[in-house]
Structures are given as structure tokens and as C-alpha cells.
Amino acid sequence: MKIFLVGMMGSGKTTLAKKISKVLSIPHIDIDDEIEKNENLKIKDIFEKYGEEYFRELESTILEKLAEKAHSFVVSTGGGIILSAKNRAILKKENAIYLKVIPEKLKERVSVENRPLLANNKENIIKIYKDRKELYEQFKTVDITNLTEWESVAKILYQYDI
Ligand code: S3P
């Protein structure tokens, strides 16, 4: 069983992936962490030094590699993974779940720390959400806006019979 959590910055992908990993006893992989480890740089420094396009290439390469693997794991993806049509095609063949959270809640919850696209202003999350909404909604969707972390985990696992 491979599970890919997709969704906006601040939607809780990493926190919930960690919990799902515990419940199902499967490893957790965080694509941003993998990128930081491989490059030995923080995400914000990769954006600053090499630009977003370079970061997107690294992100896509990791996704491709994970999709080829046969064993079980749960992946927290970076919020922008769905921007590429190729990535969306890969994710649609996998168990990819969009964690939906209303933009006002995202704004409350998100930290600007190490999130270069927010440019130190939480308000930017609203426009990013609007720009991407349609892309996210192409995936199996679990609305977790008003749920606690454990309620969210239960909903993800039950709604899609994982
Ligand atoms: C991004 C989200 C980030 C990270 C990068 C770009 C995005 O991941 O991949 O800053 O484009 O939404 P999180 O969703 O884990 O914050």
C-alpha cells in the first residue's frame, strides 16, 4: 500500500503522514525532506540559489522514483507537486489523496518559515490556493477543515477504505 498525501502548504500533510505511518506501521517519506537531504540545503536556499524550476525537477525525480517502488509507505508531498501534468498523471495512478482545508484556515495555520513562495506574507496563501484549487480537486478529496489530527487520519483511512 502506497499513499501520497497532496494539498496546500499548511494543510497538515506531513503531520498526518507521520500519524498514518504509525497506525499502519509503514515508513513515512517526506519529499521536501528528501530534497533537503540530497542537496544539503534548505528548501528556501534551493529556491534562492537555483530557482523554482530546479526545485520542481528535483521534486518530480523523487516522485518518479517513489512511484516505481513496490513496497508500502506513506508520502507527504510538497504543495506544488500537482503543478506538473506529468506528476499529476503519476499521482492519479497511485493512491493520492487531497487534504482539503479552506483557505482562511490555511492562512491561520501556515508558517512562512522555509516557505519561499509565501515571501514572508501569509496572505499569499489565498491566491496560491485559488490558482491551484482545480488541480487539487482532480484527486480523491478528504475535507479535513474542521477535524482534529486523529479525526483526519480516521477519515482518510475510512473514506477510501485503506
Ligand atoms: C511548496 C510547498 C512546500 C515546498 C515548497 C513549495 C508549494 O511544501 O515543497 O516550498 O509550491 O506549495 P509544503 O506543502 O510541505 O509546505
pLDDT of residue 62: 98
pLDDT of residue 137: 98
| Count of domains for the chain | 1
For residue 16, what is the domain's CATH number? 3.40.50.300
For residue 9, report the distance from its CA to the centre of ligand 1, in Å: 6
> Does the CB atom of residue 117 touch ligand 1 within 6 A?
yes
Please give the helix or strand (H or E) that residue 56 lies within, else none.
Answer: helix 52-68
Verdict on whether the full-model pTM lies above 0.90: yes
DSSP string, 101-129: --HHHHHHH---TT-GGGTT-TTHHHHHH
Q: Is the ipTM of this complex over 0.95?
A: yes
Question: What is the Cα–Cα distance from 44 to 117, expressed in whole angstroms?
Answer: 9
Q: What cell was used for 153?
A: 487520519
Name the pairing type of β-strands 28-30 and 140-143: unpaired
pLDDT in tens, the chain (162 residues): 899 999 999 999 999 999 999 999 999 999 999 999 999 999 999 999 999 999 999 999 999 999 999 999 999 999 999 999 999 999 999 999 999 999 999 999 999 999 999 999 999 999 999 999 999 999 999 999 999 999 999 999 999 887
Q: Name the packing angle between helices 85-93 and 52-68 (round to 10°).
A: 20
For residue 10, report the distance from its CA to the centre of ligand 1, in Å: 9
What confidence tens digit (pLDDT) does each residue in 51-95 have? 999 999 999 999 999 999 999 999 999 999 999 999 999 999 999
For residue 43, report the distance from its CA to the centre of ligand 1, in Å: 9
| Structural domain span for residue 87 | 2-159
Bridge partners, 75 (sequence order): 4, 29
Atom of ligand 1 nearest to the CA of 59: 9
Q: What is the DSSP letter of 9?
A: T
pLDDT of residue 162: 77
